[in-house]
A = this chain, B = another copy of it.
Amino acid sequence: MNPHVRHLRRTLPATVTLAHGGGGSAMRDLIEGVFIAAFTDSDAPLEDQACFDLAALAAVGDRLAFTTDSFVVDPLFFPGGDIGTLAVCGTINDIAMGGAHPVALSCAMIVEEGLPVEILRRVAASMAETARAAGVPIVTGDTKVVARGACDKLFVTTTGIGVVRAGAHIGIGRARPGDIVLVNGLLGDHGAAILSARGDLALDSAIESDCAPLHGLVGVLLDAAPGTRSLRDATRGGVAAVLNELAEASGVGVRLRELDLPVRPEVVGFCEILGLDPLYLANEGKLVAVVPPEEAEAALAALRAHPLGREARAIGRIVETRPGRVVMETRFGGERIVDMLVGDQLPRIC
């Protein structure tokens, strides 16, 4: 968009119509009135195609990272965030988990006809605010509108590019026996917040989503523990899914200690009532890090010194025995296998 068309902006109607996805002047009005209005304080203007100087990127690191995620969370707004904060944080975190510094995001919206424009404005505003606070601008986008009933309100797909720091070699298949498993804080808040926000459980809880961008935290972690083997944000499927993937991919066993798992008492209670396991609950601001033993202490100290890692903890270790398996030493001294679930405990959690 450009200054020549700015003065043509008309007042938007109260709800989104099919014409807003049609490529004509109504779409332009919507994009200008909602998205440009929210995103232009970012570092770059919103265009059909965004451009970055390759030499400037190469000054940050040696590899370009590229990742995408769709967000279909229900409800759109929940304690601690909304689909917009989730879409920005989720993709920033996917980039960060490769040891990369996030550079920019794209944002593609699929909107249901009839959605109040005010809802779009609120989502765009929280995307813009989250992106600005994270220092990662939203630089390009797309909007499609489908007829009433053809989608549920709003889906958002964000894609990110980033630059991997030179020397970082992080992967889900790199864990080795002896390594230590860390998490940066309390588990299960996002899953519990969404479930309680759906309201059909008539549970009154004050649990908020932990939705947060983790690239700053990863930065301090990698400074302190440059030998970090694996990083993964524990979203759908929770810490259990991450550790099962890691055990399989690395051909190692993982041993957890139940007593070391940091879970908020409200989430423990919530899970007990509903028969859920916090290890499987989704998080949106929690990472699992596997670090070599000699760097574990420094890694933990670095995480704890960061606002998003105050409750960081070592929750287990990588072992040779039972490769491909995650085993938990229970609080009663027994042990049980933490298997991968077939699906999530909850649909549309992110």
CA distance A54 to B140 in the complex (A): 21
* A144 and B110 contact, CB distance less than 8 A: no
Residue with the greatest number of chain B CB neighbours at <10 A, chosen from A8, A49, A345:
A49
> Which one of A269-277, A314-322, A335-343 is at the interface?
A335-343
Whether A217 sits at the interface, judged by CB under 8 Å, is no
A48 touches B20 (CB 8 A): no
The answer to whether A24 touches B157 (Cβ under 8 A) is no
Question: Is the beta-carbon distance between A144 and B72 smaller than 8 angstroms?
Answer: yes
| Complex A-B, nearest 9 residue pairs according to Cβ-Cβ distance, in ascending order | A19-B343, A23-B236, A22-B343, A22-B344, A23-B237, A159-B159, A68-B106, A157-B157, A150-B152
In the assembled complex, the Cα of A155 lies from the Cα of B66 at a distance in Å of 20
Least Cβ–Cβ distance between A2 and chain B, in angstroms: 5
Least Cβ–Cβ distance between A350 and chain B, in angstroms: 8
A151 interface residue (CB < 8 Å to B): yes
Question: Known contacts A72-B146, A149-B152; can you find 12 more A-B pairs with CB under 8 A?
Answer: A4-B248, A4-B249, A28-B340, A49-B94, A50-B65, A50-B67, A51-B64, A66-B161, A68-B141, A108-B157, A108-B159, A146-B347
Given known pairs A150-B152, A237-B22, A343-B21, the reply for A2 and B173 (CB within 8 Å) is yes
Question: Which residues of chain A (143-185) have a CB below 8 Å from chain B?
Answer: 144-147, 149-152, 155, 157, 159, 161, 163-164, 172-173
Q: Who on chain B is nearest to A340 by CB? A: B25
Instruction: Collect the chain B residues with CB atoms within 8 Å of residue A5's CB.
Output: 245, 248-249
Closest to A54 in B: B58
Q: Which of A106-124 contact B (CB under 8 A)?
A: 106-110
Interface positions of A (Cβ within 8 A of B): 2, 4-5, 8, 17-28, 48-55, 57-58, 61-72, 74, 94-95, 97-98, 100, 104, 106-110, 139-142, 144-147, 149-152, 155, 157, 159, 161, 163-164, 172-173, 235-237, 241, 245, 248-249, 251, 282, 324, 340-345, 347-348
Docked-complex contact A54 and B49, CB < 8 angstroms: no
A106 touches B66 (CB 8 A): yes
Known A70-B157, A146-B152, A161-B66; judge A98-B341 contact (CB<8 A): no
B72 engages A110 (CB within 8 Å): yes
The answer to whether A52 and B64 touch across the interface, beta carbons within 8 angstroms, is: yes
Q: Main secondary structure on chain A at its contact with chain B?
A: mixed
Residue on B with the closest CB to A173? B2
A159 & B68 in contact (Cβ 8 Å cutoff):
yes
List the B side residues contacting A173 at CB < 8 Å.
Answer: 2, 4
**Pairwise interchain contact A67-B106, C-beta atoms closer than 8 A:** yes
Q: Which residues of B contact A110 (CB under 8 A)?
A: 70, 72, 110, 155, 157
22 residue pairs from A and B, CB less than 8 Å apart? A17-B343, A20-B343, A22-B341, A22-B342, A22-B344, A23-B241, A23-B343, A27-B343, A52-B64, A52-B66, A54-B61, A55-B62, A66-B106, A66-B161, A68-B142, A69-B108, A70-B144, A71-B144, A144-B155, A150-B151, A150-B348, A155-B155
Complex CA gap A8/B339 in Å reads 14
Closest residue of B by beta carbon distance from A162: B49
Chain B residues in 8 Å Cβ range of A142: 68-70, 157
What is the chain B residue whose CB lies nearest that of A139? B66
Nearest-neighbour CB distance to chain B for A283, whole angstroms, equals 11
**Is A236 touching B63 in the complex (CB atoms < 8 A)?**
no
